[in-house]
């Protein structure tokens, strides 16, 4: 979907409007283009992030059932759901109103970058309370996501020379950088979802489906081994 949207939009912006099929390209580009608002790409990206948030919430409830603390998972879930809302509603664009005069092409970055650093450090602090293996996987996923969301967004602004008019947005470098930006974001989000899903287990019981975590089982196994009598040689 990402590649198709980029191709359709690039062709739409760089061929004559009277050319056969231009209207079809225009419609498909608007529907799939990653830099547009309220389209299929924005919806799918928001849905992916929401899925991570919901999965982390399930882990939070499951760890509580395993007599472990689930607060950290609920906080991470809330942050991810907020990111989902931002992806769909473009909330970060509103930060441009607080531009600090840095001269960045995308004004929201002047506030968004420091805010991302603060949120990132907060997430790292909170993540100390979750399973170590899951924490490592989520950190890698988060770094990839931020590299796209902040790093390549900044490079995209530099590529257009500080201008964001229609001509600059139609250039090939801008489309390539946008593809890398959104691709890294999507990859990071998919990795985070896979990491979260990997710790959940589902058991069929007489009363229904029991959702637990592999984290709790690992703790139980460790406790059983520590309390089991050693074999005498």
Dmax (CA) for the chain in angstroms is: 88
Residues 21 and 92 in one domain: no
Q: What is the pLDDT of residue 160?
A: 65
- Within this chain, do residues 94 and 142 fall inside the same structural domain, yes or no? yes
- The count of domains in the chain is 2
Of how many residues is the chain composed? 233
Q: Tell whether 71 and 111 lie within a shared domain.
A: yes
Task: Give the C-alpha separation, 108 to 92, whole Å.
Answer: 7
Q: Are residues 24 and 124 in the same domain?
A: no
Asked, for residue 153, whether it belongs to a domain, the answer is yes
Do 72 and 177 belong together in one domain?
Answer: yes
Asked whether residue 183 is assigned to any structural domain, the reply reads yes
> Does 211 reside within a domain?
no
Residues 83 and 107 occupy one common structural domain: yes
The CA-CA-CA angle for residues 44, 50, 56, to 5°, reads 145
- Tell me, yes or no, whether 105 and 4 share the same domain: no
| Same domain as 5, residue 95 | no
For residue 94, the model assigns a pLDDT of 64
Would you say residue 130 lies in a domain? yes
For residue 92, report the phi and psi dihedrals to the nearest 5 degrees. Answer: -65, -25
Instruction: Print pLDDT tens along the chain (233 aa).
Output: 999 999 999 999 999 888 998 999 899 989 999 988 789 999 999 999 999 999 999 999 988 766 567 889 999 999 999 889 888 877 666 655 555 555 554 555 566 667 777 888 888 888 888 988 999 999 999 999 989 887 777 777 676 665 555 667 788 888 998 999 999 999 999 999 999 999 998 888 888 888 888 875 544 444 444 445 554 44
Nearest CA among 77, 65, 156 for reference residue 109: 156
180 within some domain: yes
**Cβ distance 196 to 209 under 8 Å?**
no
CB atoms within 10 A of CB 228: 8
137 within a domain of the structure (yes/no): yes
Residue 27: the pLDDT is: 92
Is 46 found in the same domain as 29? no
| 149, part of any domain | yes
Regarding whether 126 and 164 lie in a shared domain, the answer is yes
In a domain, 5, yes or no: yes
CA distances from 74 to 45, 71, 232 (A): 21, 5, 46
Q: Cα–Cα distance between 174 and 23 in angstroms, integer?
A: 22
Q: The pTM is what?
A: 0.80
Please indicate, yes or no, whether residues 64 and 162 belong to a single structural domain of this protein. Answer: yes
Q: Could you tell me where the beta strands, DSSP code E, fall in 73-186?
A: none
- Please tell me whether residues 67 and 147 are part of one structural domain: yes
Structural domain for 50, as ranges: 42-200
């Amino acid at each position: 979907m990402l590649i198709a949207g980029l191709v359709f939009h690039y062709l739409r912006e760089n061929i004559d409007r009277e050319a056969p099929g231009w209207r079809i390209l225009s419609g498909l580009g608007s529907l799939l283009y990653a830099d547009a608002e309220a389209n299929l790409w924005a919806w799918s990206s928001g849905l992916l992030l929401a899925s991570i948030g919901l999965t982390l919430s399930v882990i939070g409830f499951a760890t509580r059932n395993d007599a472990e603390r689930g607060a950290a998972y609920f906080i991470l879930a809330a942050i991810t759901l907020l990111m989902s809302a931002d992806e769909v509603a473009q909330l970060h664009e509103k930060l441009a109103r607080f531009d600090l005069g840095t001269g960045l092409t995308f004004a929201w970055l002047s506030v968004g970058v420091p805010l991302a650093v603060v949120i990132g450090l907060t997430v790292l602090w909170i993540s100390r309370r979750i399973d170590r293996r899951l924490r490592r996987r989520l950190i890698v996923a988060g770094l990839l996501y931020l590299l796209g969301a902040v790093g390549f967004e900044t490079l995209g602004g530099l590529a257009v020379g500080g201008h964001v008019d229609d001509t600059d947005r139609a250039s090939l470098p801008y489309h390539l950088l946008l593809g890398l930006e959104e691709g890294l974001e999507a990859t990071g989000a998919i990795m985070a979802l896979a990491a979260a899903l990997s710790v959940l287990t589902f058991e069929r019981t007489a009363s229904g489906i029991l959702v637990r975590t592999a984290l709790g089982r690992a703790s139980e196994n460790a406790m059983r081994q520590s309390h089991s009598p050693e074999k005498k040689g």
